[in-house]
Amino acid sequence: MVKANPRWVARNVVRRVPPANARLPLSLWASLWGGPAGPGIDAISIVRRIADQAGHPLTVVQIGANDGEMGDPLHDVIVRYRWRGVLVEPLPHLFAALRSNYRGVPGIECEQSAIGTEEGTATMYAVASRPGDPVWTIGLSSMRREVILESADLIPDIAERIEETEVPVMRLDTLLAKHQVNHIDLLQIDTEGYDYEILKQIDFSRTWAPRHVIYEACHLGDSLEKARSMLRNAGYEIFPAGYDDYAYQV
């Protein structure tokens, strides 16, 4: 019989007790998962902690929502805690799945668009999924082809399987105006290397400037430190969380 170690026991107690999940200091809370680089600290656990801290429904904007199910850090919390907000996904087949997975969920609006620096259209690069591919292949898409090619070690023929799709593009402020969003508790971004371009569109002087931001850090390259510096200068603390960064206002 395998004995549970103290960290495992503490971690599972915290998961099941909202006051502990909410009030434990972030550094101590993260240590239960092995610290910022630990195997369990991720967007899913961060979002659940934010929900337990709030204790009431929050407003979320999710950019790169995929199908709203596979590996999604928000879906269960949105449904369970009755969060409201706008979920954005540009690719038609993923958008159809997203809308289906949130059918009947009150307070949630889905927008079929990419978020970019200019209004109009843009080319999205995605991968035609085949049997035997990693499960996340169906959601692998970006406005930057080179980011898709980063997965060539796991999908050797990926270059030959990249498909191009023209998608509508709107700026972040256009999205918020369209859906009459004047307050954001959590902005979650997962755009495979385009996250910094979206972060730069946040007007930190506006009432809608998000209290919490989770963005995909692993594909940002040289832009990662620029993103972190920008957020720190705007009054956010940065906490690495696996493939993502978690930024929150002090």
Residue type, 224: L
Domain assignment of residue 8, yes or no:
no
**Domain span holding position 73:** 28-118+167-249
User: How high is the mean pLDDT of the chain?
Assistant: 90
Q: Does residue 180 sit within a domain?
A: yes
Q: What is the dihedral of CA 26, 82, 114, 214, to 10 degrees?
A: 0
Q: Report the CATH number at residue 179.
A: 3.40.50.150
208, part of any domain: yes
In the predicted model, what is the mean pLDDT of residues 53-72?
93
Whole-Å CA distances, 177 to 62, 121, 201: 15, 19, 14
Residue 187 within a domain: yes
pLDDT digits (tens, 9 = 90+) for 78-110: 999 999 999 999 999 999 999 999 999 999 999
Q: Is residue 79 part of a domain?
A: yes
Q: Give pLDDT, residue 51.
A: 95
Chain-centroid distance, C-alpha 14: 23
Q: How many domains does the chain have?
A: 1
Please give the share of the chain, as a percent, with pLDDT higher than 90. Answer: 61
Let me know if residue 14 belongs to a domain.
no
pLDDT bracket for residue 4 (50, 70, 90): low
To which H or E segment does residue 53 belong?
helix 43-54
- 245 in a domain, yes or no? yes
